[in-house]
Amino acid sequence: MILLSLSGFTETENNPLLADFKTPCETPPFHSIRHDHYLPAFKAAIDEAKNEIEAIANAETAPDFRNTIEAISQSGERLSRISSIFFNLNSAETDEEMQQIARDASPLITDFYNDILFNEKLFQRVRQVYEQSENFELTSEQKMLLEKTWKSFARNGALLPADKKQKMREISRELSELSLKFSDNILAETNDWFLHITDEAELSGLPQSAIDGATQAASSKELEGWVITLHAPSFVPFMRYSDRRDLREKVYMAYSTRSYKVNEYDNTEILTRIANLRLEKANLLGYSSHADFVLEETMAQNANTVNSFLKELADASLPVAKKELADVQEFAKTKGFNQAIETWDWAYYAEKLRQEKYDFDEELTRPYFQLEKVKEGIFELTNRLWGLTYKPNTEIPVYQKDVAVYEVYGVDGKFLSLLYLDFFPRPGKSAGAWMTSFREQYRKNGQDIRPQVSLVCNFSKPTDTKPSLLSFNEVTTFLHEFGHALHGMMSDVNYVDLSGTSVYRDFVELPSQIMENWAVEHEFLDLFARHYETGDPIPAELVEKIIETRNFHAAYATVRQLSFGLNDMAWHSITQPVKMKPEIFERTAMQPVQLFNWIDGTMMSTGFSHIFAGGYAAGYYGYKWAEVLDADAYKAFRENGIFDKATAEKFRNYILSKGGSEPPMELYVKFRGKEPAIDAMLERDGLKKL
């Protein structure tokens, strides 16, 4: 990398983002960073990166892999670092000023990357290396980087004439701005709405954990009584346990109309514009749809494969899901409810049926899943499988007081990674759970630069009387995101572009979803599941109940995921701009697997951040695709032992450490010895092919 002096940028003096990080492990100096540091830092880092790119493009030496492809990969290191810090915080700890900075910085960053992609001199050097690749002795990883670099230019318009390149620039910039606005709107709608309860009778049916959370939420707003919010730790238990159907409907409607109201946070026109712009971009590049463009770079390869996969799952699950709905409807009648089951009734009556059928209430498991103990259990699991150990480091700066940082070491005692853990909801944090990083793993001048990985979740907060106690679903979420973290922490590649989770979108969920399988294993739960008050281990019969109920309404869950996947594919398979009302478009897309009556005025697309503000456009099917992979892969652990080190080492060597350095199907076959089949997933979920 060509390092240039930043002297001369007078407005950047004493900017911690532009200085070498003198913190432990060169971590972001959050304690020193102010909001007004970001924009000057972005501008300075962009200028620095531009100079690096110009030096590569104008080099007098003949282009080869090292002075062109590798040099491009290593350029812009400072800009990438600042971007990781800022945009991670804009999701986890944002405010109005941060959101405005994002709106100001994103066009600058988009323009910079477009300048690279449309730099004719640079592209001709890349093209020469690509077309003469047989003249260079390249490793398999170098070949992957060369292929990825070539495609990053070709698939973003480098081969287009000048007028179409300009149009691509305009589209890319507008898409960047719209995605930010889409995400900001959802966060605002989620944070702004709450149900204030002052009559204790309206808490009927809620478990104590939910009531405690509602008390704390009210206190945080300086209100008397109880508050229900649209954040998952509040929303989910309310929909599952509240006896008040009218309030369940009210909460559901608030959630299902997020950013679908005539106000400043309405995403209706934004999502349509995003879909149409993506189509226009795909057309410019010679593709008939955005899905065709995206899926070319996936394991699935094309829309036909995805649609056939979704149909195969629908054929297997929809009849069973309809039977599950009928069973719940019949059960509700026995409880005096004679109306049609609506979406705000499903979780409530399904939970009642599960309790009666299996004599099991998931709330009974919560006392055994104290967050700290679950964390220790996951640490122990990864120690048994891969020999990982974790050491807390309180000297490392954090961006919020609840965040904890661990140094992670491998079986050989060598430093592997940093791990940031950010568990609890707050107003500045987006909903959901995700893994990200402040620095990826790569090698530079012979040195292995280790990653700085972060897990961001929205788990139930501790109360004044109880520690954070997780639901079983939250335990599986923790395991899921930890799988992503392992993918990042165990990365062992040379180039940042191929590091960790930089893999095909429909492959990236394999490391995360395979981890969920341990959640229903006796041997794993016995490691940590202790009652938070008595210390007693979780009873064996309770574990059996968890296992027995694992597939309870698995078909319904599959159909729900399929509805999201079909909606995603519909928005991104359009070959003409969408002109119909988005609500009608969505209903048409999801109709093949629709189980409930449509509720006028609701729409999930306006809150579908995965595809309109994230990286899952034409890729949401990947969650189910990865379930096929993880079910098949986990059979290797079931066959050899769930703590089998040899199997774990193969999974590390061929999946976790390789990132995108080899084609994913080749990596999978090296691990498993064969390509995956759908049967393992259908068997695990209790579904049968029809």
Do 411 and 387 form a contact (C-beta atoms < 8 A)?
yes
Is residue 404 within a helix (H) or strand (E), and if so which, with residue range?
strand 404-409
Q: Rounded to an integer, what is the distance from CA 480 to the centroid of its chain? A: 10
Amino acid (one-letter) located at 367: P
Max intra-chain CA distance, the chain: 83
Q: Tokens 């490392």, residue?
A: 396
User: Burial, 330: exposed, middle or buried (Cβ in 10 Å; 0-12, 13-18, 19+)?
Assistant: exposed
Nearest to 664 by CA among 638, 639, 629: 629
- Paired with 389 in beta bridges are 409
Tokens matching residue 280 = 């226009």
* Residue 656 DSSP label: I
Taking the C-alpha atoms of residue 527 and residue 381, their distance in angstroms, rounded to an integer, is 8
Are the C-beta atoms of residues 485 and 455 closer than 8 Å to each other? yes
Per residue in 595-608, is it b (16+ CB within 10 Å) or e — as a string? beeeeeebbebbbb
Q: CB–CB of 434/420 below 8 Å?
A: no
Structure tokens at 338: 């004679």
Q: How far apart are CA 660 and CA 649, in angstroms?
A: 18
Q: Rounded distance, CA 688 to CA 456, Å?
A: 36
Look at the block and give the residue holding tokens 């499988």: 385
Residue 374 near residue 423 (C-beta atoms within 8 A): no
Q: How many CB atoms lie within 10 A of CB 675?
A: 10
Contact status, residue 634 vs residue 517, Cβ threshold 8 Å: yes
Query: Do the strands 404-409 and 415-422 form a parallel or antiparallel pair, or are they unpaired?
Result: antiparallel
The answer to whether residue 356 is catalytic is: no
Q: Which amino acid is at 514?
A: I
Residue from 481, 586, 627, 662 carrying the catalytic annotation = 481
Report the distance separating Cα 42 and Cα 658, nearest Å.
31
User: C-alpha angle with apex 488: 486 to 490, nearest 5 degrees?
Assistant: 65
CA distance 125 to 128: 5
Residue 540, SS3 per DSSP: helix
∠ CA 458-461-467, nearest 5°, is: 135
Catalytic residues: 481
